[in-house]
Structure 1
Amino acid sequence: MVLSKSTNTYNRQYWEDSDFPILCQTCLGDNPYIRMTKEQYGKECKICVRPFTVFRWCPGAKMRFKKTEICQTCSKLKNVCQTCLLDLEYGLPIQVRDAALQIQDDLPRNEVNKEYYIQNVDNQMSKYDATQPSNSALKSKGASDLLLRLARTAPYYKRNRPHVCSFWIKGECRRGEECPYRHEKPTDPDDPLADQNIKDRYYGVNDPVAEKLMRRAAAMPALPPPEDRTVTTLYVGNLPDNITEDELRAHFYQYGEIRSLTLVPRAQCAFVQYTTRSAAEHAAEKTFNRLVIGGKRLTIKWGKSQGRQGINDKNESAPVLEPVPGLPGTLPPPPAFLHPFPPQMPPPPNRPNDFFNLHHYGPGGWGGWGPGMAPPVPPPPAPVAPVTPVGLHYPSQDPSRLGAHAHANAPQS
């Protein structure tokens, strides 16, 4: 163990000795069979410069080894992870959390004052519950809208990837796929994210990651209420699989009286209708982009207006369906030889003698004949090319079936 000259070796009673670190889920990793190495008083805390117990472990396959950077006392003062120094509850930088909760940093920066302050905090934590954050401001403050919108709901294991291989950047790496470091282009030196300081992150000043998140929060979309005041329904999407209607009703009932709640498990969504418009607006404001149930961030949208739906339905033209084979309008016209009379000549008037097929021959004309007169023989029809049937053919379409027959004067085919 190598300690700096600033370490007070005479005050060893305040050196930290712990059995397990204070870590977030991301730094701990997804490996359930993790193994750690423990080194008592292995390093100095990068904040209070006191020797503390250092833990080292690998969070998962193809990940880099990680270790604790600050002592547990400094971790409890800010309620942050000992390795990444992000908030344990929201997974956000300290600067974002303190700005959202309006917390002023009152930690001393002088070495002597800092050591005295840390010793008093240790004495207080030994008397009270040491699992809770020692900062009284964090205990009294609740969650804000900004924190709920920016909070990370799932671990971000990509943060545990190996560092970039410096030999690969120079073109001198000979390990190939066996190299434990990443063969990727490094971050641009002009990028603010490339210059991060652990002390600035802990004290919540000049943190480029926090500034990036604040800009993202300012650019987040809002959910304006619809112009139709009769709309009091909210669409809730991305629901967990095991959620019940009673659980969803118990959560949304705090914003106002619910008229109806329809849960659609197959689509993982629900429709919540309130009795008043003010209750629906209050629920939309409090839940949009910040409601998390079962580890999933729910999607909140306004329902559609019934009046506008009717207007849109009237304006939309009816869909044009394709013709069904076999129905009227889809068959080709019948051949010309099936017509009893030519299309250019009108049929003769219905006379009693025509029913019994009694005709008298004599001079006469077509359409003006009487007793002793016979109608002229119609000219033969022009040859017609055979028509290929289109679509399906049914027996009822055959004119020679079911008792159908051509006119007596029509030529026989």
Structure 2
Amino acid sequence: MVGTQAASAPALHRTRAIQHADHPFASCRALLFQSAPESEVEETPILCETCLGPNPYVRMAKQPRGMACKVCSRPFTVFRWNPGVGMRFKKTEICTTCAKIKNVCQTCILDLQYGLPVQVRDTALNLKQSMPNADANRHHYIQAMESQLEGATSLIDSSAGPSSRAGQELLKKMARRDPGYKRNRPHLCSFYAKGNCTRGDECPYRHELPVDNELSKQNLQDRFHGTNDPVARKMLGAHAKEQGLAPPEDKSVVSTRTGCLPLVRDDAPKCLFADGSIFEHHARTLQMSLFLSALSPTTTEDEIRTFFINSVPQLQPHHIKSITLVAASKCAFVNFKTRQAAEWAAERCAIKVELGGKEVRVGWGRSRPGKKGGSGAGAASTSSAPAAAAEAETAGSLGVPS
């Protein structure tokens, strides 16, 4: 945990929580501030090296109960400081309890150990921590977490399961080694973007035009809870691309497939299914499915479904359209209802996947080829009636890893 080197300066002028007693929300706000625990009057913040800055003798201003936490809405001790020359003033955004629950910095909301977004860390370690949305339930949840945090620095180490070793190795590989002080630069000048800034070189904000892309649409709530974080999606997508699980350019792809089939070739061998039908491996149009291979002989459909639901925080049971398990070939096809759900699953599968104590290979699924001059869409003309029914149920889901 970083932050012990921060020396607190004389406290800011302490303002009253309620300045106008006749304010319509005065009683509610007073009740909120009175409910703040004494433990939130902290002496030092929980910060990462980047937010703290390069100066080991940084001076901080402390304001007890100066602001409501942007996650749990409880008042907490706010720290404000300047990381260095040419950098903007920074302050803590969430309380120490919320920071300890997720083991993140109070300012940038990034993991303290690896410097990565919460969504990346939770995906790699297969962690699922959800905070209630209702105020009453959220306060009860925070109080319960505080009792668990007594004498501990975070809950992440205790939440990680024994199968998270591969995830930890991945996090070490993706970890940000050096502090990125570029993140502490001043914000963009909105008047400069409009062409109305009259300060010139004296303007404390950066005179650069904003870039409208996915990374510009970030918010603190999504980063803390590890959902819909564009930075995390970009990092997980880059890793998935390295592992051969990059989302196909064809937007019709909605399935991910797991198995141990060879690479696609014109003379590739044929795969014998349980019903005796034959499936040829050819280059095909991608579908919204994942192909799983090298499965254990004892693996069941319920185990595959449970793995995806428990491993992918965003994935819900209704996102999985169907699962086709081919026991004879030790492979399975997982079909999703939406392209987004398939990409979520692929990002998780880019990390080591184990089912039944055996490592499984995962690849994007491909559709079956259509026959020239015929109405059939099967892979072989010798398919039986039961096979055709099974194929119709999993329309377009059978394939090979790309």
Distance 1:215 1:13, change over 3 A: closer
| Change over 3 Å in CA distance of 1:149–1:12 after alignment to 2 | closer
Per-residue CA deviations over 1:63-92 (Å, capped at 9, x if unaligned) read 011000000000000000000000001111
Taking the aligned partners of 1:145 and 1:221, their CA distance within structure 2 comes to 15
Mapped to 2, the partners of 1:105 and 1:85 lie a distance apart of 15
User: Structure 2 CA distance, aligned partners of 1:138 and 1:59?
Assistant: 33
Looking at structure 2, the residues matched to 15 and 33 of structure 1 have their Cα atoms a distance apart, in angstroms, of: 25
Deviation digits for residues 247-272 of structure 1, max 9, x if unmatched? xxxxxxxxxxxxxxxxxxxxxxxxxx
CA contact (8 A) 1:133 1:139 kept: no
The number of residue pairs the alignment matches comes to 218
Residue 158 of structure 2 aligns with which residue? 136
Contact 1:27 1:83 in 2 (8 A): yes
Change (3 A) 1:23 1:139: farther
Distance in 2 between residues matched to 1:16 and 1:134, nearest whole Å: 21
- Give the distance between the partners of 2:183 and 2:58, measured in 1 at CA: 17
Partner AA of 1:59 in structure 2: P
Match of 1:109 in 2: 133
Q: Which has the higher contact order (CA 8 A, sep 6+)?
A: 2
Q: Is the 8 A contact 1:15 1:41 kept in 2?
A: no
**Offset at 1:9?**
4.2
- 1:129-159 CA-to-partner distances (Å, cap 9, x unmatched) read 2434466314865552321221111101111
Determine the structure 1 residue equivalent to 2:220: 198
Aligned to 2:204: 180
Residues 65/9 of structure 1: CA separation in 2 closer, same or farther (3 Å cut): closer
- Structure 2, unmatched stretches of 5+, are 1-15, 19-24, 245-402
Residue correspondence of structure 1 range 294-313 to structure 2 within 5 A: none
Q: 1:64 to 1:203 in 2, by over 3 A?
A: same
Aligned equivalent of 1:43:
67
CA distance in 2 between counterparts of 1:92 and 1:134 reads 14
For 1:22, the aligned partner's letter is I
Deviations 1:75-118 (A, max 9, x none): 00000000000000111111111111111123322211110111
Partner of 2:256: none
Q: 2:180 aligns with which of 137, 142, 156?
A: 156
Cα distance change of structure 1 residues 214 and 10 upon mapping to structure 2, 3 Å threshold: same
Query: What is the distance in 2 between the residues matched to 1:119 and 1:101?
Result: 25
Structure index of larger Rg = 1
TM-score by length of 1: 0.49
**1:307-340 alpha-carbon deviations (Å, 9 max, x no partner):** xxxxxxxxxxxxxxxxxxxxxxxxxxxxxxxxxx
How far apart in 1 are the matches of 2:36 and 2:232?
36
Residue 146 in structure 1 maps to residue 173 in structure 2: no
User: Is 2:224 the partner of 1:167?
Assistant: no
% of aligned pairs identical? 51
Moved more, 75-84 or 136-145: 136-145
User: Does 1:90 pair with 2:124?
Assistant: no
Q: Which residue of 1 aligns with 2:234?
A: 212
- Per the TM alignment, residue 217 of structure 1 is displaced from its structure 2 partner at its CA by 1.2
Q: Which runs of 4+ in 1 moved over 4 A?
A: 1-4, 138-143
Please state if 1:121 is matched with 2:171.
Answer: no
Q: Residue 123 of structure 1: CA displacement? A: 2.7
Q: In the aligned structure 1, how far is the partner of 2:202 from the partner of 2:104?
A: 35
Q: Tell whether the 8 Å contact from 2:125 to 2:161 is kept in structure 1 after alignment.
A: no
Equivalent in the alignment of 2:44: 20
Question: 1:33 and 1:168 mapped to 2: Cα distance?
Answer: 34
- Map Cα deviations across residues 205-234 of structure 1 (whole Å, 9 max, x no partner): 110010011111123389xxxxxxxxxxxx
Could you tell me whether the CA contact under 8 Å between 1:41 and 1:53 is conserved in 2?
yes
Alpha-carbon separation, structure 2, partners of 1:201 and 1:174: 35
Q: 1:80 is matched with which residue?
A: 104
- How far, CA to CA, are the matches of 2:234 and 2:177 in structure 1? 18
CA-CA distance at 1:196 after TM superposition:
1.0
Change (3 A) 1:47 1:135: farther
Distance in 2 (alpha carbons) for counterparts of 1:170 and 1:106: 40
Deviations 1:165-203 (A, max 9, x none): 112122222222221110111121xx1111112111111
> Match of 1:311?
none
Say which SS state the counterpart of residue 145 (structure 2) adopts: helix
User: What corresponds to 2:336 in structure 1?
Assistant: none
C-alpha distance in 1 between matches for 2:243 and 2:158? 33
Q: What SS does structure 2 have at the residue aligned with 1:52?
A: strand
Measured in 2, the distance between the counterparts of 1:181 and 1:139 equals 45
Whole-Å Cα distance in 1 between the matches of residues 186 and 242 of structure 2? 31
RMSD after superposition: 2.3
Residue 71 (str. 1) matches residue 95 (str. 2)? yes
3-state SS of the aligned residue for 2:193?
helix
Q: TM-score, normalised by structure 2?
A: 0.51
Alignment of 1:329-408 (within 5 A): none
Mapped contact 1:91–1:151 kept (Cα < 8 A): yes
Question: Aligned to 1:144, what secondary structure does the other structure show?
Answer: helix
Cα contact 1:14–1:119 (8 A) shared by 2: no
